[in-house]
Every structure is written in structure tokens, then in C-alpha cells.
Copies of this chain bind each other. A is one copy, B any other.
Amino acid sequence: MPREALHVSRRIAVLGATGLVGRTVLRVLEERRFPLDELRPLASDAGGRTVTAFGREWPVSAVSERSFDGVDIALFASANAISQQWAPVARAAGARVIDNSSAFRYHDDVPLVVPEVNAHALAGDPTLIANPNCSTIAIVVALAPLARAAGLQTLEVATYQAVSGAGSEAAAELERGIRGGLDGPPPPRTDGGPAFAYNVVPQIDRFEDNGYTREEMKIAWETRKILELPDLAVAATAARVPVRIGHCAHVSAVFERPVPPDEARSLWASFPGLKVIDDPAHGRFPTALDADGIDDVLVGRARTSLVNPRGLLFFCASDNLRKGAATNAVQIAQALDELAVRVARRAR
């Protein structure tokens, strides 16, 4: 029985299609030749815009109560409030929602999925799946094979995050700041915040009562949930750097036993979604620009911690719009699609 005889419905909606992540979702769907039956680009403020994908222009519709009728998978590249408003509508219409916002990530009944790490969380046919934080995704892909091999005990992280992670307005603000600061200090930011351009800003998202930012706590909360280590101790610093695309992170992890750098590189090399760039003798290590435009997480600079013999330090870099957001969401859609194909095959 030829596989192509099976037909699984693939009507896809993309909410937030005009944003940085939404446009990248469309690009990744196209690159991966996702077998679409229908594509519905949606936006909360459509206003007659179009997006380009699969070699043609698509009108973007304003999202409405009827937008998700007949939709199989809805990819949400939207802010929390928009996701909270429309996820129930999409689910009621029968769509499975893959949400890139943080609105549902910490709900016990919502799987938080990085397919290379915990695709098994998709079993049970969930109708709402959360896509993790952009920095967290890269870090957990790099940690997962080490954690499985050696048991992860504690985690410290310092991030170097690209401005596109804050959305298209922030990205435009960076460009204005860079141009306005070519021959002097950068101009103040429109919203009064500290300049992105030529600066390091150790605040991403709002502050929590414990002195950490919400971005820093997301790295803790989400790493625990994805790696299924609910008691893992995690302390993070998240900082914005004047980079367009490409989140980097210094990672300092302590395991139950020492993990020699050679073992780490070997574990990484055989894990999906990772590319090891770790050859100091030839000046090879991950950088933000190396990660820009690719789907793999780059990992390198592996070395034994000088503070704890069971500690390993490494550095990772990933495209925050791709693996950190759109690619991971599309991978979840592909995994759901494969599950649907399997179900259809069993049903024959």
C-alpha cells in the first residue's frame, strides 16, 4: 500500500504572519516543503497587508471567530494577549494550536516541546502545544544529551541575545540606533528604554519579585519542564546585545559525574539539531553570525569547569527566529503531522 495513497488533511493557519517570527514560520514551512492543503496567514491587525511564501503573495486576513474553521494546525506567532484570546477559538474550531507566546507554557496540561528533546510529550494528541523561549530552546538541545548521559544537577547561564528576539519594532529601533550613532552616542530609544545600539542591556522582560527578570526565570522554568527535571536549580542572567539575529549563551552545568569535553563533543555530534563547532586550535567556535539563517544549534567551547570538576562550561549560538521560534514550531507541526499519518495508517 503506497504511502502517498493516505491523505491527511493539512490546512494551516499562521497567526501573527506579518511579524518577524510569523514571516520566518512561512519561510521554514516553504523550505521544508510542508505538504499544505491550505494556508491562512492571519494577523490581529491585518490592514490589507500581504506576505510572500511558496513562491506567491498571500493576503493576510484579520483574525476573526471564523478564521480557524476547518484548520488542522494553527501556528501562533503572537504576543501573550493575542494567543490567550484566540487559542480557545482555534481549539473550539478543531485546530491544534502551536503557540509561540509564553501564555500557556507553564500550564501543567500544556506540553512544552523541543522535538529533538521531548517529542514524546506530543503523545496523547494535545490540542495546544507551547513553543519554548528562544534562549531556552538552544540551551536544552545542547544540554539534553549530556543530561541523559551524566545526570544534570545545576545550571548557570548568561545569555547574549539578539534584538530581533524582542520583535520587529525593537529590530527597527536597533537599526535607527546604529545609524543614529555612527558618529557619536546612539539616540535615545523611542520608548525611553536604554539604547539597544552599541550597548549591553541586562534586562529582558519585566522584573520578578526575586530580582530576576521574567526572561531569566523562563530559562529556569522551561528547562525544568522540557528536561523533566522539576527540581533542577537554575540561575540565569539574560542580556540584550546589539546583534540582529543570533542568541548566544555561556552555559555552566554541573552533572552527577565529570563529563570530559571530548565526551560532550561526541554526545553532541550524535544528537539531532546540534552542530559542534569546537576547534580552538583553528579559531573555530560558535558565533551569533554563524548561527544566523540556519536551523541547527551551534555548540562549542567545551571545557571542564575550574570551579567544580563535575562542571562543564560551553557556549552555544542559535538563530532566535528559526530554532528559537519558527523552526521549532514548524518541527512540532511536522511531528503532529507524522502522528496524524500514523493514526490514519492504523485506521485503514
Contacts and interface: CB of A to CB of B under 8 A. Distances in A.
Nearest to A213: B280
Given A185-B289, A288-B200, A289-B186, A305 B235 contact: yes
Interface in A300-324: 301-308, 311, 313, 315, 317
A178 interface: yes
A235 B155 contact: no
Nearest to A247: B200
Interface string A177-219: 0110010011000000111001111110001001110000000
Nearest to A293: B185
Contact of A198 (B203, B234, B288): B288
Contacts of A200: 160, 241, 243, 246, 248, 287-288, 317
Contacts of A155: 307
A81 interface: no
B243 A199 contact: yes
A303 B201 contact: no
Contact of A211 (B178, B252, B302): B302
Contacts of A185: 289, 292
A47 interface: no
Contacts of A211: 261, 280, 301-304
A40 to B, nearest CB: 32
A179 B185 CA distance: 15
4 interchain residue pairs of minimum CB distance: A211-B303, A158-B158, A207-B280, A158-B250
26 contacts: A154-B307, A155-B307, A158-B250, A160-B239, A185-B292, A193-B283, A195-B289, A198-B243, A199-B289, A200-B241, A200-B288, A200-B317, A203-B280, A203-B283, A210-B306, A211-B302, A211-B303, A211-B304, A212-B306, A233-B307, A235-B311, A237-B301, A237-B315, A239-B248, A239-B250, A241-B242
